[in-house]
Each structure stands twice: as C-alpha cells, then as structure tokens.
C-alpha cells in the first residue's frame, strides 16, 4: 500500500502518518520527490484502519499495491534510483559501462585489461573470481587471489570493480576487495544468498535467471532490499528460448517493462545474451537506445586463449570501437 501525502502535510504531517502506521507494527519507506511525498507501507495491512487514514487531513490518496514486490516497485518510489559505486554512479544521469574478462586469470592480465578498458571509457571493471561453470571440470576461478588482482587493478587505475559471488563465504571475502557484488543468472533465486547479500552494504548487480519472468526477477530484488540493501541494478543477460543460433535470446523489451515496473537501474549484457562477439556492439546500441542505464561487456586481452567465454569477448581494439560507436547513442539518450 502507498499513501500519497497532501503537499500541505509538511514534516509534521509526514511524522504523524508514519507514527500512526508504525504504532501498528508495520514498516514505512518514505520517498520524497520534488512534487509529492509518498509513504510506502509493508506489513499486515489488516491492522490498519484504512478509512481513518483516508480521512486524515495530511493524506491525499491511499493506493493498494497489488504486486508482491514493494520496495522494488515503481509505485513505492516514483523517482529513478541512482547510487554510487566507488567514484562513479549507476542511474539515469550517465551510461555505466562494466567491462573486463569473464574470469580473472592472473594479476598481469587484470592490470593489462584494466588499463585498456579505462582508456576506452569503461566505468567499472568486471572479472569473475568464483565461476559457476556448467561443467565441474571447467576452470572454477581464482577465488580470493582473483579478488586481490581486481583490487590491484582498481588501485592502479581508479576503476570501480564488480565480482560475482556464489556463496556466503565468497561474500565475506569479496566485500574486502571489490566495490560491487554480482548475483549470477544461476543464483537469481538462491534466496539464502540473496538474503546474505541484502545484509552487506555494497551495491548489487542482480542478473536475470535464464528462465525467470520479470516478476520473479523483481521479487528476487525484493529479497535483497527487504534485508536493507536497496542499491540494486538489474541486468538483462538473455533468456532461454527455443532459438539456438545465439547462446540465449536477449529480451530487450525487458528494459521497457522494467522501466514501468521498477525504479531500479537496468543494465544490459549482450555478451552473455548472445555468446557471439560480432553481435555485441549492435545490441549495445539498441540497449542504450531503448533506455538501458548501462552495459556489461566482456573484454579480453587474448580472447582465443581465454579460460572462459572467449568467443563472446571483444579484443581491446573492438571494445574501443564499440565505445566510440556508442557515444552518439548515449548522447541521444541524454547520457552523453
């Protein structure tokens, strides 16, 4: 449920309404926009006398929120969310570009890639240290050593860093070294992991599960938010369909649906969505054109010998060209 306050309510009116709700054991989330102040209510609404609330001199309207996700809901928070990641931010004012290898492979590799992607304009350095591979015999990641290499690359270049975490233990290590946590597609509905991430204070990139509906995805975000961590960006990375020409099918309409349903920023990952390097730049343009707040692009110093996802990784030159080609799209979208 959300309560829209009258413009005349002021601080006093807001406090009175909040007091009334919290007295009944429900929690409130306040969104103070330039035009209106909204009080979002989470909890057992049967404890509230809605008619009395509607009659309050401070209340303009009371609206039921039928969706099961509340904190992630656009109705709860009409302004788009923006949050800081180290020295950059994710939100409506800029185009975030997360770039780097699928997996951290060595210190030298991370330093080389960090320097190159920074030069081309990336804002966040990515690299997996815990790799959830389809086969248990594939490279599983360097774990804590990988995190240390990410940190060294960040210390040298100033780039913010992101790394996927796959367990509570990985979260404990990652928070010491990186600036943002990633939940991978395979763990989107690992609710215990989501709750643990919700207790950390680092911003989160929540990837869409490969067969998840948008509502399931937003409920996964709600799991994290309900533990107190509200700095979440959603990442569309392709879904499973009958089509086999690409690794997954990029659901670009999800960007538009999400912009209606949630205030959280949206990132598009054309690398994992297609698995094909030649499709990355055109789909990046399309993603920016339809309102994405950022991109995640895999870049490797030697894609042919990458320990994972080589075929979808761009070379340094290709990434540089991609960033140049994207600049006018970013400008047209008001992010240039």
Binding residues for Mn ion, rule: CB under 5 A, are 102, 309
Three-state SS letters, 147-197:
HHHHHHHHHHHCCEEEEECCCHHHHHHHCCCCCEEEECHHHCCCHHHHHHH
Q: How far is the CB of 329 from ligand PEP (least distance, A)?
A: 23
Rounded Cα–Cα distance for residues 159 and 170 (Å) = 21
Q: For residue 61, which of 1, 9, 5 has the smallest C-alpha distance?
A: 5
184 binds ligand PEP (CB under 6 A): yes
Could you give the string, one character per residue 254-283, with x where binding to ligand PEP holds by CB under 6 A and - elsewhere? ------------------x-----------
> Do 248 and 210 contact (CB within 8 A), yes or no?
yes
Backbone angles phi, psi at 261, to 5 degrees: -90, -25
Q: Which residue lies nearer to ligand PEP by CB, 88 or 271? A: 271
Rounded Cα–Cα distance for residues 48 and 62 (Å) = 12
Name which of residues 108 to 167 contact ligand PEP (CB under 6 A). 128, 164
**Residue 277 interacting partner from ligand PEP, Mn ion, none (CB closer than 5 to 8 Å by kind):** none
> Do 186 and 193 contact (CB within 8 A), yes or no?
no
**Residue 207 interacting partner from ligand PEP, Mn ion, none (CB closer than 5 to 8 Å by kind):** ligand PEP
DSSP 8-state symbol, 72: T
**Residue 237 interacting partner from Mn ion, ligand PEP, none (CB closer than 5 to 8 Å by kind):** ligand PEP
Q: For residue 81, which of 227, 252, 234 has the smallest C-alpha distance?
A: 234
Tokens standing for 182? Answer: 């990633």
102 binds ligand PEP (CB under 6 A): yes
Residue entry with tokens 């920016």 = 288
**Residue 184 interacting partner from ligand PEP, Mn ion, none (CB closer than 5 to 8 Å by kind):** ligand PEP
Q: Which residue lies nearer to ligand PEP by CB, 5 or 287? A: 287
Name which of residues 213 to 252 contact ligand PEP (CB under 6 A). 237
Q: How far is the CB of 309 from Mn ion (least distance, A)?
A: 4
Rounded Cα–Cα distance for residues 226 and 191 (Å) = 12
Q: Which stretch binds ligand PEP (CB under 6 A): 20-28, 143-151, 179-187, 193-201?
A: 179-187
Q: Which residue lies nearer to ligand PEP by CB, 102 or 234? A: 102
With residue 277 as reference, give the H or E element that holds it.
Answer: none
Q: Which residue lies nearer to Mn ion by CB, 20 or 207? A: 207
Tokens standing for 308? Answer: 């994972």
Q: How far is the CB of 39 from ligand PEP (least distance, A)?
A: 36
Residues that bind ligand PEP (CB under 6 A): 102, 128, 164, 184-186, 207, 237, 272
């Amino acid at each position: 449920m959300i309560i829209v306050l009258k413009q005349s309510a002021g601080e006093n009116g807001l406090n009175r309404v909040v007091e009334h709700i919290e007295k009944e054991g429900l929690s409130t989330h306040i969104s103070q926009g330039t035009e209106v102040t909204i009080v979002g209510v989470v909890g057992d609404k049967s404890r509230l006398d809605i008619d009395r609330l509607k009659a309050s001199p401070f209340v303009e309207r009371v609206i039921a929120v039928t969706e099961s996700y509340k904190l992630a809901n656009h109705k709860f928070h009409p302004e788009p969310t923006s949050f800081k990641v180290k020295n950059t931010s994710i939100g409506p004012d800029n185009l975030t570009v997360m770039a780097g290898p699928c997996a951290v492979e060595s210190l030298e590799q991370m330093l080389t890639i960090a320097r190159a992607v920074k030069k081309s304009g990336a804002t966040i350095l990515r690299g997996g240290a815990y790799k959830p591979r389809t086969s248990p015999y594939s490279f599983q990641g360097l774990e804590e050593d990988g995190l240390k290499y990410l940190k060294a690359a960040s210390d040298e270049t100033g780039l913010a860093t992101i790394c996927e975490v796959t367990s509570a233990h990985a979260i404990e290590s990652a928070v010491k070294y990186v600036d943002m946590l990633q939940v991978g597609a395979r763990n989107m509905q690992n609710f215990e992991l989501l709750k643990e991430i919700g207790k950390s204070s680092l911003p989160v990139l929540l990837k869409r599960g490969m067969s998840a509906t948008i509502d399931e995805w937003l409920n996964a975000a709600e799991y994290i938010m309900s533990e107190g961590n509200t700095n979440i960006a959603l990442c569309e990375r392709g879904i499973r369909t009958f089509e086999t020409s690409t690794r997954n099918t990029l659901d670009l309409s999800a960007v538009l649906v999400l912009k209606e349903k949630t205030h959280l920023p949206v990132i598009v990952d054309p690398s994992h969505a297609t698995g094909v390097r030649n499709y990355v730049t055109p789909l990046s343009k399309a993603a920016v054109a339809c309102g994405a707040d950022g991109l995640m692009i895999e870049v490797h110093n030697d894609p042919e010998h990458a320990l994972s996802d080589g075929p979808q990784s761009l070379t340094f030159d290709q990434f540089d060209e991609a960033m140049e080609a994207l600049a006018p799209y970013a400008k047209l979208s008001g992010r240039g």
